[in-house]
Structure 1
Amino acid sequence: MSKILARYRATILTFTIIAVFAGGFLVAKLWAQKVTNLHQSLQRFSYILNLIMVDYVEEVDGEKLIKSAVDGMMQALDPYSEVMELERYNDLKSRLDAEFGGIGIYIGTRDNYPSVISPIEGTPAYKVGLIAGDKIVKIEDKPTENMTIQEAMKLLRGVPGTEVNITCHREGVSELLDFKIIRDTIRIKAVPYAGTVANQIGYIRLADFSKVAGTELETAIDSLFHNAGVTKLIFDLRSNPGGYLQEGYEVSDLFLAKGKEIVTARGRRADATRKFVATDNEKHGDFPLVLLVDRGSASASEIVAGALQDWERAFIIGDTTFGKGSVQNIMTIDENTAIKITNAYWYTPSGRCINRPQEIKAVLRDTTKKEKEVKYFTLGPQKREIYSGGGIVPDYHMAYRRLNELESRIVSQGLFFDFAVKYTAIHKDLAPEFVVTEQILNEFKTLVTAKKIEFTQAKFDSSQEYIKQEIEREIKAKLFGTKGDYEVRLRNDEQVQKAIEFLQKANTTADLFREIKK
């Protein structure tokens, strides 16, 4: 016992010395702010830790106590400041770097097994013949029933060039299928789809702001304007959570004239304050541009939306954005730990702070109502009134259609996907012009009933159009990939169709703003 006490006292003495020196340093640094009690607080913490380590009835782990104290400090900050295990930090970095070692599939859970949502074209999984709907029942002979997506991803990812063996159950095939797959570097597309949606009107979906976002977006714009006869564009940032600041800056730079401010970061420290301006002129001129946003558009998405709105460069349709307008600095503490801490807020060129106070609660507000915040005005010739208070308020509010109870239950159980897998296993030669018939609807209704989802015929009838479009979308996604998915999705997307309606009447972006004044 004496050895244990001696070890604890040595630990506490070391901690106390560190605390005293850290306290002395911090008190000196913060003296001008009259924070004079920090040293005493650190001494109090050390004293309490000492009492617990020596006098508590059971032996305790001092490191766990200190970790709990650190976690408590982080909880007193905003939701984006955190101490991360290095594994989580590396996962975050892999997502933002848009590449990792793996086999190249999107996976979800189906019947308690990790299942292939879709293989990424050109990847090892695609080349060996994995298809949407394949249930992964074993990874390296390890059963996967009830395995989480995170656990499955950890087993499937690895160093490029190494081998992983998986066993799958495929709808319509009686025996299990074994696949030997050689991992490769998987590059995730920031632009999953770009195409035309009407005469001279293009559409581009940007899914995130990974390190390839700016390059992929520029390539997509060039292709549409040079090869598809596009002169007007719908740019979709809905549910885009953001990513690298540099990519937000580069994306904005594609649309703004040289010298125009894009965003300013302001923090307490002088080195946290930075201004970003456009360095090149718009590559394709001042073409009519509609930007789509929603409550899931955050961070770098809001930087782009704020800059384009302030300069009257884009007409924004959708819902008020999330309001995640803060800058995080990530630093490694040791070989196992990193800290992510907010050190600045983003401000649009007109001076609006993007960050929403009390973000998580505030996002639940009814954004259909204009809020009574400080008023700002655009910096273009129209000097239009715009709104602040966190997030970017669209020029034309148009919320998503909300799913009713029946639709929500169907979606949550993945029944559209399940039906598409079963249907295409039987009907292998469906044409691109395939449509959902009354017979197909009845087959789907039988599946819904079998899954014990209660509904009346009246409720099913009221959701019939939505159900038909989702069956068609899932089947065409299964058969024709991303192109089939998006062609159905965009045809039935009310916000996209409204954007087309506006763009068909406009020759310049200014025309779009004049249209809403009518």
Structure 2
Amino acid sequence: MKYVLFFLLTLSAASANGQKMSATGRHNFETSKHLDIFNSLYRDLDLYYVDTLDAKKNIENALLYMLSQLDPYTTYYSNDNTEELKQMATGKYAGIGSLISFRNDLGRCIISDPYRDMPAAEAGLRLGDIILSIDGKEFAKTDKQEAADFSSSVSEALRGLPGTTLEVRVRRPGTDKPLTFKITRRTITIPSVTLSEMLTDSTGYIALNGFTENTARDVRLALVALKQQGARRLILDLRGNGGGLMGEAIQLVNLFIPRGKEVVSTRGKVKESTATYKTQAEPLDLEMPVVVLTDFGTASAAEITAGALQDYDRAVVMGRRTYGKGLVQEPRELPYGTMLKLTTSKYYIPSGRCIQAYKFEDGRPVHRPDSLADEFTTAAGRIVYDGGGIAPDVEVALDSMPNLLLYLAASDELFDYAVRYRNTHDTIASPTDFSLTETEYAQFRAFLKEKNFTYDRQSARLLETLRKVAQREGYAEEAQTEFNALEAKLTHNEDFDFEHWKNEILKLAEQTIVAAYYYDEGAARYLLKTDKDVKAAVELLSSKENYGQILSSPRKRK
């Protein structure tokens, strides 16, 4: 009987292995078949299509469409864009130290964000300078060029080997004659610490904009300096931080938790993509109370940092739920100097939670509510949930914001006003003291009218949607009088909007102007004056009892 049982078990195992091999074989066959179809299809297109095809453009479009069906982070880089991938990972490149952007109304690129203490700023280039030529070569977009391709050509011309020089000729708005600047390229390292300073006599503040090479080192240096100034509490601001290098997140967490603790694990399809990462060094401070600020822009390595500190009950997370990017990407080299940034695994933080969003709709993450999510526990036994992103221990609601501010923040008109202000005022007050006068606010409004700044009111769009719904349901004619009366009430009134939202508009305009003089650091320092999240964090840190209670109380399902 035992031989019969052995035979049946062996037969069952063989059958299972056969099915597995059969499934693998079918998968490989389907892959080969469709690759063969694609090759044959493009070969025939190239041979017989009525017009000559651009192989690079068409096949790249096919590749990009295929990758867009997977996740938002798996990306193909052509051989002329691989430097972009390296810069994203390291935060380094060789050039002049400024962002550029294309302006359709000018047909040229402009200096859009020169970095402090970098070659462009040191040579005298300013925000809004219009690039005319580089080393004598004219740069103006032709009708046949795509804006992205033109911008890439300008960026490529500005970059080069460290120590080499170039001449950039620009037109500065408000001046008659072109200006020429001789600039020496150097290796540019984009600092990840935007701002580090004392907020009170015992509370330090560090704002991080990314996780690139040496981020953890820079945070350590900033924290040591703050402690020397008397900091006994810390606010670590990760709002708007899109993440970066996982290793830097692990080292940053290690500043606050003991050696040998798990920070993150990755799980993927292949063995090489599955690993557990622990702290390797002695911590800098195990006792200092920490509040980590987060919002929807907090992603990837920044979420690992916030989540790990939450899981070890080492910090209070405050603000809004984070983005939910729990996917790991690795670069892989492809033929002809091209590269693929490929999603290979998912992140899991110490409690066992995966921070990846439940799903994506229209390119945006969708989070599961806590009521439907799985429960996990922190080191102290607090209940936390998966479902996408890191939910804060203390939620700070955002103030309502009208469409007017969203349109204004993204507008060329606001940028151009800041440029004009910079070019007509040699100096301004410090970031914490600067403000526009009533006369200047009136001038700003007049400038926007002159430039025909427009915006879409949410109320008008919702009314139009309501009209369409009423039309479908048969109530449109009956409710026409009410619709007309409501439309009259909602008539676009810019004067009312600019007066009603005056404080918010002033804040946006002043922040933009401050950045033109004092760069990102100055803008961040200006915003601290009225930062609702920072104020709440300072208040929490000032109460040892409330801080300790949050880290010991279980969160309830919503």
- Quickly say closer, same or farther: Cα 1:57–1:276, change in 2 above 3 A: closer
Query: Is the 1:288–1:507 contact (alpha carbons within 8 Å) kept by the matching residues of 2?
Result: no
Equivalent residue, structure 1, for 2:504: 466
1:338 and 2:339 equivalent? yes
* Aligned-pair CA distance for 1:99: 1.4
Whole-Å separation in 2 of the counterparts to 1:175 and 1:30: 76
1:446 and 2:446 equivalent? yes
Equivalent residue, structure 1, for 2:402: 404
Query: Is the 1:85–1:338 contact (alpha carbons within 8 Å) kept by the matching residues of 2?
Result: yes
Structure 1 residues without counterparts, runs of 5 or longer: 1-27
Equivalent residue, structure 2, for 1:138: 133
Say which of 506, 523, 529 aligns to 1:491. Answer: 529
Query: Is the 2:318–2:395 contact (alpha carbons within 8 Å) kept by the matching residues of 1?
Result: yes
Any idea what SS the aligned residue of 1:91 has? Answer: helix
Deviations 1:27-73, CA, capped at 9 Å, x for gaps = x9994583331354356447646864787794378987987876676
C-alpha RMSD over aligned residues = 3.2
Any idea what SS the aligned residue of 2:296 has? Answer: coil
TM-score of the aligned structures, taking structure 1 as reference length: 0.84
- Quickly say closer, same or farther: Cα 1:165–1:30, change in 2 above 3 A: farther
Any idea what SS the aligned residue of 1:36 has? Answer: helix
Deviations 1:219-240, CA, capped at 9 Å, x for gaps = 11111111x2211111111222
Query: Is the 1:101–1:183 contact (alpha carbons within 8 Å) kept by the matching residues of 2?
Result: yes
Equivalent residue, structure 1, for 2:277: 276
Q: Which amino acid aligns with 1:34?
A: A
Percent identity reads 29
Deviations 1:375-417, CA, capped at 9 Å, x for gaps = 112112xx22111112111112235445312222222224343
Whole-Å separation in 2 of the counterparts to 1:172 and 1:76: 47
- Quickly say closer, same or farther: Cα 1:302–1:415, change in 2 above 3 A: same
Equivalent residue, structure 2, for 1:243: 244
Equivalent residue, structure 1, for 2:258: 257
* Aligned-pair CA distance for 1:475: 2.9
Deviations 1:417-475, CA, capped at 9 Å, x for gaps = 32233234333343333432211111111112112235432211221111222232233
- Quickly say closer, same or farther: Cα 1:56–1:515, change in 2 above 3 A: closer
Whole-Å separation in 2 of the counterparts to 1:329 and 1:30: 32
* Aligned-pair CA distance for 1:352: 0.5
Equivalent residue, structure 2, for 1:500: 538
Deviations 1:1-26, CA, capped at 9 Å, x for gaps = xxxxxxxxxxxxxxxxxxxxxxxxxx
Q: Which amino acid aligns with 2:138?
A: K
Equivalent residue, structure 1, for 2:84: 91
1:294 and 2:295 equivalent? yes
- Quickly say closer, same or farther: Cα 1:76–1:514, change in 2 above 3 A: closer
Q: Which amino acid aligns with 1:136?
A: I
Whole-Å separation in 1 of the counterparts to 2:38 and 2:98: 48
Whole-Å separation in 1 of the counterparts to 2:212 and 2:203: 26
Equivalent residue, structure 2, for 1:219: 221
Name the stretch that deviates more: 47-56 or 259-268: 47-56
Say which of 156, 159, 164 aligns to 1:157. Answer: 159
- Quickly say closer, same or farther: Cα 1:403–1:418, change in 2 above 3 A: farther
* Aligned-pair CA distance for 1:103: 0.8
Name the stretch that deviates more: 491-500 or 45-54: 45-54
* Aligned-pair CA distance for 1:287: 0.9
Whole-Å separation in 1 of the counterparts to 2:67 and 2:388: 22
Equivalent residue, structure 2, for 1:123: 118
Q: Which amino acid aligns with 2:235?
A: I
Equivalent residue, structure 2, for 1:419: 417
1:176 and 2:178 equivalent? yes
Whole-Å separation in 2 of the counterparts to 1:56 and 1:169: 46
- Quickly say closer, same or farther: Cα 1:30–1:491, change in 2 above 3 A: farther
1:72-87 alignment runs, 5 A limit: 74-75=67-68, 77-87=70-80
* Aligned-pair CA distance for 1:350: 0.8
Query: Is the 1:287–1:508 contact (alpha carbons within 8 Å) kept by the matching residues of 2?
Result: no
Structure 2 residues without counterparts, runs of 5 or longer: 1-16, 455-492
Deviations 1:456-513, CA, capped at 9 Å, x for gaps = 3221122111122223223333334444322211112221222122122237952554
- Quickly say closer, same or farther: Cα 1:182–1:457, change in 2 above 3 A: same
- Quickly say closer, same or farther: Cα 1:50–1:304, change in 2 above 3 A: closer
TM-score of the aligned structures, taking structure 2 as reference length: 0.78
Say which of 26, 38, 41 aligns to 1:37. Answer: 26
Q: Which amino acid aligns with 1:490?
A: L
Whole-Å separation in 2 of the counterparts to 1:479 and 1:460: 25
Deviations 1:355-382, CA, capped at 9 Å, x for gaps = 1232355845588x645201112112xx
Q: Number of residue pairs matched?
A: 486
Equivalent residue, structure 2, for 1:395: 393
